[in-house]
Amino acid sequence: MRSLSKLQRVAIFFLITGILGPLAPLTIASLAFRWGWPDLLPSIWWWEKRDTLQVPLAWDYIFDPVSRVVPAMQNTILIALCVTLLALIISLPAAKVLATQNFKGKSLFELFLAAPLIVPEMAVSLGMLLVFLQFGLQGNLVAIIIAHLVPVIPYMVRVLTVIYGELDKGMLDQAALLGASRYQIFRYVEFPLILPGILAAALFSILISTNIFLLTFYVGQGQVDTLATLLFSKIRGGGALDPVSAGLTLVIILPGLLFLAFTHRTLKEEVFSGGLNKS
Amino acid sequence: MSKGTQSMNLLKKLISACLLNTAVLFPAYAADKDIDIFRSDFVSGKLSWSEVEKRAREEGTVNWFHWGGSEQLNSWIERVVVPKMADKGITLKTTRIAGTRDAVDLVLTELAAGRELGHGSVDAIWLNGDNFYTLSKQEALFGSFADKVPNSKYFEFDQDNPRAQLNLSDFGTPTQAREMPWSGEQYICYLDSKRLSRANAPKDFVELEIWLEKNPGRFTYVKPPHYIGNTFVQTALYSFNPSGQGYKEFQRPITSFTADEFTKLVQPGFEYLKRIEPHLLGGDTPFYPQNQSVNQSLYNNGEVDFACEFGLYLVHNNIKTGTFSETTETLAFPSSGMIKNKNFLAIPKNAPHPAAALVFTNVMSSLELQISKLKDIGYPLGADIWKLSGAEALAAKAAEPALHGVTADELGRLAVSDTNASLVKVIEKIWVDYIEKKSSLPFGEIVAKQIVSN
Amino acid sequence: MRQPHAKNGNLKSLLGLIPATVVMLVFFVGALLLCIVQSLGYAPQYGINQFPTFQYYQAFLHDDGLWNSLGLTFYYAVVPTLIGAALSLFLSVAFAKAFKGRGFALFVYKIPLAVPYLVGVSIVILLFANGGLFARFFYAIGVISSPGDFPRFLQNAEGWGIMMVYLWKQVPFMTMMLYSNLLVLGREEEESALLLGASSLQIFFYVTLPRLMPALVGSTLIIFAFNFGSFEVPFILGAGYPNTLTVEAWRLFDDADYARRPEAMAIVTFVTFVSSLSILAYLVLYRRFERKRGRV
C-alpha cells in the first residue's frame, strides 16, 4: 500500500480538526458567564458569579433536576433500546426471506422497504402525527417508539440481508440432517453465526434513533423530552449560543462518543458495504 | 346526478370508512356529570372556596403547560410554585412546551376525539393573544372563573373602569374572566450607554429616521410574522395614524374596516418603514433578525446600537445572567406609545382536575407569588397596583427590579394597548408583501388582497 | 448465488415479510396517504370537508414565493451533496491507504454520525455567526473592524451555515459508505493498473471511480433526499423568509388558523413528489450513463 499524498494528509487533518476542534470552544462557552464581542475568552467566568446569584447558571442548571436533562437522557436511551429490539424482531424474518428466497416483485418490495430513506422527513412526520391522532396515541413514548421504526427498519433490513446472504447454508442443512429441531438450529447454529451482524445492526439502529429530531418533535407533541428536543428548544432562536446550550450540546456529544468508543470494533465499515449497492 | 359526482361520493364514503374515526376505536367519553355540576355551581357562585379547595385536594394533581424556554422561570417554578401547591395538597406537574400552540392543539384534538368535560389532559395553560382567541372561538374554555377566585381582589374587573381594559380584553378578544391575568409585559428598547448616549438616542419614529441617516446600519427590527416584529410594526403604524388617534382605531376587528379605510389608516406607517429600510442594518440588502434571540446577539456584538422587544425588566434580567453588558439601559421608545399587554392562565373546558386548576390560578395570582416572581425573575406584576392596600403596594414597589434609566411613571404614561388580533394577521401579511417580497402592486391593492384572503 | 424460487404454493416461505410490511403500510404509507387526503381537503377535525379540491395546491402554486422557496430547497440540497461527494471520494481513497494515526482517524470521523444535526447547528452558530469565534479572531488580528465586516453565513438566503452543518454530518456518512465499499472491493484491479504503469490520477478515474459509482450514486441519493426534506437546520440557520418548502410547511401547520393546515399538507406532498421525481431522474440518467459505458 502506498502512503498518503500531501493533499490527502491535509484533507484528513482538516476532517479531524473540523470534528474535534469545536469541542474546545464549546467547553469554554459552557463555562462562560459573560463572553461579549470581541473577547477571545470570556471576560467573566461562570464560577466567579456562581455564588452571588440565586438562579442556577450554566452547568449548575444542567445538573439541577429542574433542567430535566436526566429524564430526557433516560427517554432517549429507552426509546433507542425499544426501537432496536422491536426493529430486530420485525427485520430479522424479512431479511432472511430477502436473502434466501427469490419471488416475483422482489425488487419492487425492496424498493418499497427503502422508500423511507428517500421520502422527506417532514412529510413522514406530519403524516405520522395524523395517523397517531386517528388512534389517539400522540404525545407519548409508545407513539415515538413506533414512529422511529419507520426510518430504522429500512437500514436494519439491508444490513441483516447482507449478513444472511453471507451465511453458510450448508451448516444449517447439516444441522437439520443431524436431526436438530428448527428451534435448535436457530438457537445453536443460525443465531451465533449472525450474532455479529445483529450487533452491528442494533448499534446502527441506536445511532439512528438517538439522532432523530423531527419525528420525535411532532409525534411527541412537545410532551416527551429527548436530548434532541431539549437542544432544539434551547437553540431554535438561532442567536448567540448561551452557556446552557453549549453545555447541553456537550452533554449530547458525550454519550455518542462513549458509545462509539465501546462499539468501534463492532461497527465495522464492511457491514455497510453491499447494503447500498442494490439501490 | 352525473356519473362523476356519483363516483366522487363513493370515493368520499370509502375514504371516510378507511380513516378510522377515533369515536369508533374509543368509546365516546360522556361528559362527566359530577364535573359539570361542579363547574356550573362554581361559575354561578354557589360553591364556597373551601369546598373548592377540598375538592382540589381530592383531585391531587394539576397539569400545567407553559413555555419552557427560560431557565430562570423554570427554576422559579420548581423552587417556589411547586412547594406552594404541595402546601395545598396538590402536586404540580408542568409540561414545558416550545410553543403554547402545542397545548392548544392537544386540547382541541382531545375535544375533537370526544374527550369532553373532565377527560382531557391539560388543566392550565399560560397564554395570550392568538392562542386564547383560538380556544375561545372553539368554545374550549372552562368558563368565567378569574373574577371569582379569592385573589381576584387584586385585579380590576370592573367593566366601567377604563383601567380594567388589560384584564378584560386580550388582543381584542373579550376575556370574560375565562383567563386569569398572571403577568404583564411592555414593549421597550435597550441601548448600550457606552456606545450610544441616552441624549443622542432617538425618542420617536421621526427622530429615528434622522438618526438612521446619520448612523446608517446601526438599527434593525425583528421581522414579522414573529410577534416581536409585528409589535414593532404596530407601534410605527400607531405613530403615523393619520387621525392622530394612535392606537384607538387599531382596537377594532378587521371586519369593521373597508379596504379603503384600512389602507388610509396604515399607509403612512408602512411608507415610513419602506423609507427607513435602506438605512437599516445591511443597507441595500437589509437584514431583519428572525426573532429576539438573533436581535440580542446583533446588539451584543455591537452590530446595532439599540434594539427593541417585550420586556419591562429585560435589561435587569439579562445583566444578571451575563447576557447584556453592565452598561445596558432601557430606552423609552417611541414616545408616541409603547405597547403593553398582559398574559394569562386559562383553564380548558375538559381539564381533568378543574378544582385543582382553580386553586392553582388562585395561588399564582396571590400577592406573595406575584411579588416573588417580580423580585426573583423580573416578570412584571399581573396584579393591578391600585387594587392593593397601602402596605401591599409598598411591598410590591420594593420588589421591583431596577429599570435602568427610565422610571415606572414614564413607562406607565406611554403605555398603549395592543392591536386587535384580527388586524395583526393582516398587518403582518402586508409587511411581508410590501417590505419583504417588495411587491410591485400599488399599496391599496396589497391591502385589499390581504383583507380579502383573510 | 443460487437462490430457490418461491413457487405459488410456497407462499409460506414469504411469511417473514409480513411484520415489516404491516408496519410500513400502516405507519409509512398510511402517513403519506393521510397527508395527501388532507391536502385534498379532507380534514373534518378542523371543520374542512371539501374532498376532493385542489384549492390548497392552487393556493401555494399561485404564490410568487413558491418558486423562490423551491429554488432554495434545491440549492440547499444539491450544493452540499456535490461538495460532500467530492470530499468523501477523496477522503475514502485516503483512508484506504496506510498511514500513521489511521486507527484514530477512523474513530474520530464517525463522531458526527453519532450526534444529531442540532449539534452541528450549535457548532456553526458558535464559530460562524457574525459575533462568532472566527469573526473575533479576524478582528483580533485586524482583518475586520466590526462584526458587520465579517461575511454573513447565518440566517440569510445564501445559506452557507445550513450547508456547513450538512457537510459536517454528511461527509463522514458518505466517506463511510464509500470507504466500506473500497474495503470489500479490494485493491487487485488498482494494483494491476499500477503495474501497467498508470498514474495515480488515471487509476482513480479509470479504475477506482467506476467501481465506486454504485455506492456513490446510492449515498448521494440518500443525502440529497434528506437535505431536500430536512427541517431543523434551515429553520434555525436560514432566513425567516424566504426559506425552504419544509419550513414554509411548518409555518402553515403552526398557524393559529387551523384552516391553513391542509395547505401545509399540500406543500409536504408537493415536496415528496418533487423529491421523488428528482431521484427518479437521477437514477434514469445514471442507468443511461452506465449503459453507454457498456456495463449493466
3-class SS string, A75-120:
HHHHHHHHHHHHHHHHHHHHHHHHHHCECCCHHHHHHHHHHHHHCC
**Together in a domain, A86 and A159:** yes
pLDDT at residue B20 above 50? no
**CB of B216 within 8 A of CB of B303?**
no
Cβ of A268 under 8 Å from any chain B Cβ? no
CB contact under 8 A, A115 and C28: yes
**CB of B246 within 8 A of CB of B444?**
no
**Chain A residues closer than 8 Å to C250 by CB:** 122
Bigger pLDDT: C19 or C48? Answer: C19
Bigger pLDDT: A275 or C87? Answer: C87
Tell me the one-letter amino acid at B211: W
Query: Domains of chain C: which residue ranges?
Result: 14-53, 65-292
CB contact under 8 A, A239 and B68: no
**A85 within a domain of the structure (yes/no):** yes
**Together in a domain, B233 and B281:** yes
pLDDT at residue B236 above 60? yes
CB contact under 8 A, A1 and C187: yes
Q: CB-CB: which of A25, A157, A238 is closest to C127? A: A25
**Chain A residues closer than 8 Å to B297 by CB:** 239-240
User: In a mutagenesis test of the A interface, which of C8, C45, C88, C123 is the best target, namely the one with the most A β-carbons within 10 Å?
Assistant: C123
pLDDT at residue B363 above 90? yes
pLDDT at residue A9 above 70? yes
**Together in a domain, A52 and A111:** no
pLDDT score at C7 = 47
Structure confidence by residue, pLDDT tens digits, C241-278: 778 999 989 988 887 778 888 999 999 999 999 999 99
pLDDT score at B26 = 43
**Chain C residues closer than 8 Å to A20 by CB:** 108, 111
**Together in a domain, B239 and B177:** no
The three cell numbers locating residue B180:
386569569
**Chain B residues closer than 8 Å to A61 by CB:** 71, 75
pLDDT score at B141 = 94
pLDDT score at A269 = 65
**Together in a domain, B300 and B349:** no
How many angstroms separate the Cα of A189 from the Cα of each of A143, C167, C246?
36, 43, 48
**Together in a domain, B280 and B353:** no
Going by C-alpha positions, the residue among A88, A181, A98 that lies closest to residue C14 is A98
pLDDT at residue C215 above 60? yes
**B77 within a domain of the structure (yes/no):** yes
User: In a mutagenesis test of the B interface, which of A46, A59, A223 is the best target, namely the one with the most B β-carbons within 10 Å?
Assistant: A223
**Together in a domain, B169 and B116:** yes
pLDDT score at B24 = 39
Q: CB-CB: which of B281, B303, B436 is closest to C241? A: B436
Distance from chain centroid for Cα A125: 17
**A107 within a domain of the structure (yes/no):** yes
**B448 within a domain of the structure (yes/no):** yes
CB contact under 8 A, B69 and A32: no
**Together in a domain, B215 and B155:** no
Q: CB-CB: which of A115, A214, A261 is closest to C232? A: A214
User: In a mutagenesis test of the B interface, which of C69, C248, C258 is the best target, namely the one with the most B β-carbons within 10 Å?
Assistant: C258
Bigger pLDDT: B217 or B12? Answer: B217
pLDDT score at A248 = 95
pLDDT at residue A142 above 80? yes
CB contact under 8 A, B217 and C148: yes
Going by C-alpha positions, the residue among A76, A80, A210, A96 that lies closest to residue A159 is A96
Cβ of B99 under 8 Å from any chain C Cβ? yes
Chains in contact with B, where contact means 3 or more Cβ–Cβ distances below 8 Å, are A, C
Going by C-alpha positions, the residue among C104, B13, B407 that lies closest to residue A12 is C104
pLDDT at residue B176 above 70? yes
pLDDT score at B4 = 55
The phi, psi pair for B31, rounded to 5°, reads -60, 130
Nearest CA in chain B to C44: B112
Bigger pLDDT: C11 or A111? Answer: A111
Q: Quick one: pLDDT band at residue B451, thresholds 50, 70, 90? A: confident
Residues A92-117: what's their mean pLDDT? Answer: 89
**A222 within a domain of the structure (yes/no):** yes
How many angstroms separate the Cα of A49 from the Cα of each of A33, A42, A199, B3, B297?
7, 13, 47, 77, 21
The three cell numbers locating residue A40:
477571545
Structure confidence by residue, pLDDT tens digits, B292-351: 989 999 999 888 999 999 999 999 999 988 889 999 999 999 999 999 999 999 999 999
Q: CB-CB: which of C51, C64, C130 is closest to B301? A: C130
The three cell numbers locating residue C267:
406543500
Beta bridge partners of B346: B125, B179
Nearest CA in chain B to A62: B71
> DSSP 3-state assignment of B187?
strand
**Together in a domain, B104 and B235:** no
Nearest CA in chain B to A218: B102
pLDDT at residue A178 above 50? yes
pLDDT score at B302 = 87
The three cell numbers locating residue B136:
375561545
Domain range enclosing B166: 28-184+342-403
Report whether the peptide linkage leading into residue A38 is cis, meaning its omega lies within 30 degrees of zero: yes
Distance CA C247, CA B105 (A): 19
Q: Quick one: pLDDT band at residue C1, thresholds 50, 70, 90? A: very low
Distance CA A43, CA A256 (A): 31
**A259 within a domain of the structure (yes/no):** yes
Please count the CA atoms within 13 angstroms of the CA of B280 that sit on its side-chain side.
19
Secondary structure in 3-state letters for B100-157: CHHHHHHHHHHHHCCECCCCCCCCEEEECCHHHHHHHHCCCECCCCCCCCHHHHHCCC
pLDDT score at B110 = 83
**B411 within a domain of the structure (yes/no):** no
How many angstroms separate the Cα of B47 from the Cα of each of B96, B149, B178, B346, B376?
32, 11, 18, 20, 35
| Residue A218 Cα, gap to closest chain B Cα (Å) | 10
> DSSP 3-state assignment of B190?
strand
CB contact under 8 A, A238 and C94: no
pLDDT score at B268 = 95
Q: What architecture does CATH give domain C65-292?
A: Orthogonal Bundle (1.10)
Distance CA B379, CA B429 (A): 31
**CB of C227 within 8 A of CB of C76?**
yes
Q: Quick one: pLDDT band at residue C45, thresholds 50, 70, 90? A: confident
**Together in a domain, A183 and A48:** no
**A246 within a domain of the structure (yes/no):** no
| Residue B301 Cα, gap to closest chain C Cα (Å) | 5
**B322 within a domain of the structure (yes/no):** no
pLDDT at residue C8 above 50? no
**Together in a domain, B136 and B58:** yes
CB contact under 8 A, C256 and B302: no
**Together in a domain, B161 and B126:** yes
The three cell numbers locating residue B78:
420548581
CB contact under 8 A, C256 and B437: no
**Together in a domain, B269 and B383:** no
CB contact under 8 A, C241 and B131: no
Distance CA B120, CA B105 (A): 12
**Together in a domain, A147 and A202:** yes
> DSSP 3-state assignment of C234?
helix
Structure confidence by residue, pLDDT tens digits, A29-64: 999 998 988 899 999 999 888 888 777 788 989 998
**Together in a domain, A158 and A134:** yes
Number of domains making up chain B:
2
Distance CA C149, CA B267 (A): 35
Conformational region of residue B292, where left means phi above 0, alpha means psi within -120 to 50, and beta covers everything else: alpha
Distance CA B187, CA B308 (A): 7
CATH code of residue A161: 1.10.3720.10
Look at residues A63, A96, A111 and tell me which one is the last residue of a structural domain. Answer: A63
Number of domains making up chain A:
2
**Chain A residues closer than 8 Å to C13 by CB:** 97, 101
Tell me the one-letter amino acid at C39: S
Q: Quick one: pLDDT band at residue B34, thresholds 50, 70, 90? A: confident
Q: What end-to-end distance do the CA atoms of chain A give, in Å? A: 31
Distance CA A123, CA C271 (A): 8
**Chain B residues closer than 8 Å to A65 by CB:** 78
Percent of chain A with pLDDT over 70: 94
Percent of chain B with pLDDT over 90: 62
Work out the mean pLDDT of chain B and round it to a whole number: 88
Percent of chain B with pLDDT over 70: 93
Distance CA B345, CA A208 (A): 39
Place of cell 394533581: B61
**CB of B361 within 8 A of CB of B123?**
no
CB pairs under 8 A between A and C: 311
Structure confidence by residue, pLDDT tens digits, B102-124: 888 889 888 877 788 888 889 99
CB contact under 8 A, B290 and C239: yes
Distance CA B161, CA B146 (A): 17
**CB of B116 within 8 A of CB of B30?**
yes
Residues B400-424: what's their mean pLDDT? Answer: 90
Going by C-alpha positions, the residue among C153, C151, C125 that lies closest to residue C138 is C151
Residues B193-222: what's their mean pLDDT? Answer: 94
| Residue C130 Cα, gap to closest chain B Cα (Å) | 8
**Chain C residues closer than 8 Å to A15 by CB:** 91, 105, 108-109, 171-172
Q: Quick one: pLDDT band at residue B7, thresholds 50, 70, 90? A: low
Work out the mean pLDDT of chain A and round it to a whole number: 86
**Chain B residues closer than 8 Å to C45 by CB:** 109, 112
Please tell me the least confidently modeled range out of A183-187, B204-208, B340-344: A183-187
Distance CA C57, CA A196 (A): 49
Domain range enclosing A52: 6-63
| Residue B215 Cα, gap to closest chain A Cα (Å) | 20
**Together in a domain, A162 and A56:** no
ipTM: 0.89
pLDDT at residue B452 above 80? no
pLDDT at residue A107 above 90? no
pLDDT score at B120 = 87
Q: Quick one: pLDDT band at residue B278, thresholds 50, 70, 90? A: very high
| Residue B112 Cα, gap to closest chain C Cα (Å) | 6
pLDDT score at B109 = 82
Q: CB-CB: which of B217, B294, B301 is closest to C155? A: B294
E strand segments, B40-123: 61-67, 91-97
Beta bridge partners of C284: none
